[in-house]
Chain A
């Protein structure tokens, strides 16, 4: 390292040039490395990155399918998709959202809940996405907004299709309703629901969700990195949900609901030949439209806390002691099991005692019915006759027979939530209460009290089975399903659940007795409905105790608080000689079956058997196309066209 302090220009220059050559080489190496890298990215992996870029660019936006429409059997629209107008705000364009909300509040009604929900959603969404502020704007509100629109940039009235129940409360317990999909439901749903916001929550809307929903469509949208949609690249249309025709005749339903108006109760009417449910009523009802976009907590509290319990589906879930309405069935059982003959009689002194027991089982008629045969016992609803009969049959035989008619188990109706009722047996009691069966329990089961419980649907079902000579048809609410765009409907096949072989003369004897209940001067329903009936009704009244009555105490209807009064029941079918409708009615705390329950059934039968005929055609004829081709048309119940049964009709004789 001995160096002269003098500069050696030549050597310095040479060193420098060497270094420049080294640097140049390095630069070329770096350039080559970059080119190699680019070839790797752009040529070798080009396909891979093209795919990624495409996935980046194109977003698949699901399009919810329009939900199927629900009609009654005559094509009256019960549930449809109607435009509803909502006010939406895009924060990005709105600027000062708080000020805008304040000014908007002076034009249209905004409550705290609207604003709270809006703010919550605004935090979750991107600023250029529109957020709904108010749903269901009225015409007036829309007009007021339209005039002042220039003041509100970024605010817009948007039309959406919302589920709508044009008839409101009518048949709500059968149709059910849709509501927003909740988190629990979301976990179970697949991609077919990716565009859907609502799902069936109750009734037919829930049970037939798969049919009503349809298949999701897809829109391929070019989207920026921030999710802003630019243009539509491709489109797969959604498949509409299937339309559903119910078995209900909504006019009959309306007749029943108005007959029960102001009362708590339930009615089910069934076509005994097919099991088609013609009316399905539980009162009071409620407006299903409240639930579609989320019910307000005040509305919900009001419904939930109402003493009348409108949210309970009494027809499906209310379990009542059937009372005397079961008597004709036991009478038939007595005849079939050959424990009694039609003319065997019992002396009724107004009470009944078990051998060796002091307890008196009272008859409803204190002085007794005297000598009573089977017909008389049904017609007069003699309790003593049936206490006797029950003892002769024994609880096991009673249960066996009633179970085959449809008591004590679910009927299998096609909407969810059905209760099974109770037809007790000693085995059942041991299992439930770990207690032995007592003879007295058989006695009171003989008049439909004690452990025996039935839903109104079951009452109608066993009545229909009676009308149908022991053939039990599965009760159902959906009559036909129609594929979108196809005018032909697929009729649901009636299903037979069981068949109880009956001797014709036994059945005839009981039906005669039931007819006498209504039409004979001594019948319990003669005064209320039989006197002026122009067709033959076979029926049976019933009264079910709500509160216990002590031995020796007298029940006084007017002295009992309303909610502790007896339930009134009535079962009937008509015309007695060729039954076309079977009905079970319960009026809670209605007192006597004859006075408050029977007139409901009479009004429905009058409509179904008389008025319909007078209206021209009855329930036969016309075509499905009438209803199917105009599914959006809302018809008032009385103006509906006659129902169809033209094609592949498996119901008629």
Chain B
């Protein structure tokens, strides 16, 4: 909106046409490079994990195209607009979540989808951006660090939608949304003593939370604690995933040569467990490369947050980046049996559409925040 800021920010150096174009359309080149690299790696792994199906690859390409388009579109939106829209987006999101619980479609035993005639829509995905936006908006209006009352209300803004999502039930998304809100509180400077207090309280609440979990969720946790206990039942995923990773070794079995993957021993190998395929075929070397790309993207995101010029954009950028890293660690932790099995895809590599669009939307916001800065703070 504030288009005048752009020429001030852009130092007229002798730059190539492409660089100037990318600047003009509010693209952050390092971030875009990282994301494109990651997508390319993802397609290579998916080709193998999807049984060398060109149809699978084609569909993933379509989704990537859509996701990058969404990213570019959001990059054009000035952060001020985002800040203004935040409460509305959040309000609509919460209402949709309630609607899902009342009239949503059931798929795989969970009520997550809203059928809008032409498209099926998962409101919980929207909340992954709406919640940090809302909490950042709420805290940004007052001096930081936030006072206890603010903190409690901020926490409520997080926990309410997370609770609705947990009810669907979708524990993975619920946990990630909770953490996105918590990240805002943390970045806003929530005092360490409060953090310790909340952490202690959370630990005390574990038994209560346990009693509220669904049976299959409890089973996942039990399985995580002792996968060999039920090797053919719920422990099967974890055991087979560990075998795939371990047998990959340092150099991997080679692209398209993963026996665990090709002989169907890895469940969900093109979606949640695609990291196991990557590890089996490309070994530790391959994983280090992918981790490096991920770290680069995360560090760039944190850099953008640190460079942001107002509280709202700073908190939002920081939270979105940390949530992105959360995705990575939860997924890899699950596949390597460091964490319980939670249905979280590996961002930009796993096969699947909705979460990819959300992830890229977040990067669109980061780009917008970075490219719409004013040089001088108001």
Contact = CB atoms under 8 A, between A and B. Distances in A.
Say if A and B assemble together: yes
B318 interface: yes
Interface stretch (B55-63, B210-218, B284-292, B349-357): B284-292
Interface string A394-406: 0000000000000
- Top-8 shortest CB links A-B: A49-B246, A53-B247, A15-B189, A225-B264, A41-B246, A224-B263, A49-B247, A46-B249
Given A27-B325, A42-B248, 20 more contacts: A6-B143, A12-B189, A15-B145, A16-B188, A16-B306, A19-B186, A19-B189, A20-B306, A23-B183, A23-B302, A31-B295, A34-B332, A37-B338, A48-B246, A50-B246, A57-B259, A57-B263, A222-B259, A225-B263, A225-B264
A43 B284 contact: yes
Contacts of B336: 34, 37-38, 41
Contacts of B288: 35
24 contacts: A1-B147, A7-B144, A16-B188, A16-B306, A16-B315, A20-B187, A20-B305, A24-B299, A30-B329, A34-B336, A38-B245, A38-B287, A41-B242, A41-B246, A42-B245, A42-B284, A46-B247, A49-B243, A53-B246, A56-B240, A56-B243, A57-B260, A224-B265, A225-B240
B329 A34 contact: yes
Contacts of B359: none
A308 B90 CA distance: 92
Contacts of B249: 42-43, 46, 50
A19 B187 contact: yes
A223 B260 CA distance: 10
B358 interface: no
A53 B260 contact: yes
B347 interface: no
Interface in A471-529: none
Contact of B314 (A16, A33, A48, A223): A16
Given A7-B143, A12-B189, A27-B325, A38 B284 contact: yes
B242 to A, nearest CB: 6
Interface string A48-61: 11101110110000
* Interface footprint category on A: 35 or more
A226 B325 CA distance: 35
B283 interface: yes
Contacts of B250: 42-43, 46
Contact of A39 (B143, B284, B291): B284
Interface in A1-23: 1, 3-9, 12-13, 15-17, 19-20, 23
A99 interface: no
A147 interface: no
A476 to B, nearest CB: 52
Interface of B: 142-145, 147, 183, 186-189, 240, 242-250, 259-260, 263-265, 279, 283-284, 287-288, 291, 295, 298-299, 302, 305-306, 311, 314-315, 318, 322, 325, 329, 332-333, 336, 338, 377
A559 interface: no
A31 to B, nearest CB: 6
Interface in A38-81: 38-39, 41-43, 45-46, 48-50, 52-54, 56-57
Contact of A27 (B244, B259, B298, B377): B298
Interface of A: 1, 3-9, 12-13, 15-17, 19-20, 23-24, 27, 30-31, 33-35, 37-39, 41-43, 45-46, 48-50, 52-54, 56-57, 222-226, 230
A35 B291 contact: yes
A3 B302 CA distance: 28
Nearest to B236: A225
A9 B189 CA distance: 13
A27 B284 contact: no
Contacts of B314: 13, 16
B275 to A, nearest CB: 10
B144 A53 contact: no
A17 B377 CA distance: 17
B91 to A, nearest CB: 26
Contacts of B315: 16
B318 A20 contact: yes
Nearest to B332: A34
B152 to A, nearest CB: 15
Contacts of A223: 263
Nearest to B338: A37
B143 A53 contact: no
Contacts of A23: 183, 186-187, 302, 318, 322
B177 to A, nearest CB: 18
A420 B265 CA distance: 61
Nearest to B252: A42
A400 B247 CA distance: 77
A6 B329 CA distance: 38
A20 B302 contact: yes
Contacts of B248: 42
A16 B259 contact: no
A19 to B, nearest CB: 5
B302 A53 contact: no
A52 B291 CA distance: 26
A49 B245 contact: yes
B264 A226 contact: yes
A16 B187 contact: yes
A34 B247 contact: no
Given A24-B302, A52-B247, A12 B144 contact: yes
A174 B43 CA distance: 70
B109 to A, nearest CB: 23
A7 B139 CA distance: 12
B79 to A, nearest CB: 16
Contacts of B333: 34
Most buried by B among A35, A41, A224: A41
Contacts of A43: 249-250, 284
Nearest to B310: A9
A38 B143 CA distance: 43
A42 B283 contact: yes
A626 B245 CA distance: 62
Given A15-B189, A34-B333, A225-B265, A3 B247 contact: no
Nearest to A11: B144
B317 to A, nearest CB: 10
A48 B239 CA distance: 13
Contacts of A46: 246-247, 249-250
A19 B146 CA distance: 14
